[in-house]
Amino acid sequence: MQISSRFTIAVHIFSCIDTFGASEKITSDFLASSIQVNPVIIRKLLGQLRDAGLVAVQRGTGGASLAKPADEISLLDIFNAVESLESGKLFHFHENPNPNCPVGRSIHPVLDGRLDQIQSAMEREMQRITLADIFADTKKYIAITSHS
């Protein structure tokens, strides 16, 4: 299982807004150059983040900005905005295990609760980490690496 890159791209977008927002217009082209993806991908993600109330986007050269304070936006908020989970589940379960096989008829009761526990743990951690945490760490890392 692998979560798509939409989530990490979205966090990258927010980090660019924080790092460059005071001195640059944060446009899809600007973001695409930092992330090295097509600006169309950026525009789609910005639309999803806007629809979730996380960013404000001004058409043309207006740029993107945070729609609320960084300490009020969690990684779970971002994940939920850009990742579409089928039926709200992180794990996709194979649909038709063989009911005539002892493992096939047991696998759902054995795994379902555990997979829910794993997803809940991930969501709790993602809720705990805010953009303010990411921004602080980004600033520290930029400071360390700019002296190299």
**Per-residue pLDDT tens for 128-137?**
999 999 999 9
Q: Is there a domain that residue 64 lies in?
A: yes
Count: domains in the chain = 1
Q: Is there a domain that residue 100 lies in?
A: yes
Q: Is there a domain that residue 57 lies in?
A: yes
Q: Is there a domain that residue 94 lies in?
A: yes
Q: Label each residue of 3-42 as H, E or C.
A: CCCHHHHHHHHHHHHHHHCCCCCCCHHHHHHHHCCCHHHH
- Pick the residue with more confidence: 62 or 16? 16
Give the residue numbers spanning the domain of 110. Answer: 6-145
Which residues pair with residue 58 across a beta bridge? 63
pLDDT one-digit tens code per residue, 39-55: 999 999 999 999 999 99
CATH number assigned to the domain comprising residue 52: 1.10.10.10
Q: Is there a domain that residue 40 lies in?
A: yes
pLDDT of 75 strictly over 80: yes
Q: Is there a domain that residue 102 lies in?
A: yes
Q: Is there a domain that residue 127 lies in?
A: yes
| DSSP track, 63-99 | EEEESS-GGG-BHHHHHHHH---GGG-SSPPPS---T
Q: Is there a domain that residue 1 lies in?
A: no
Average pLDDT score over the chain = 92
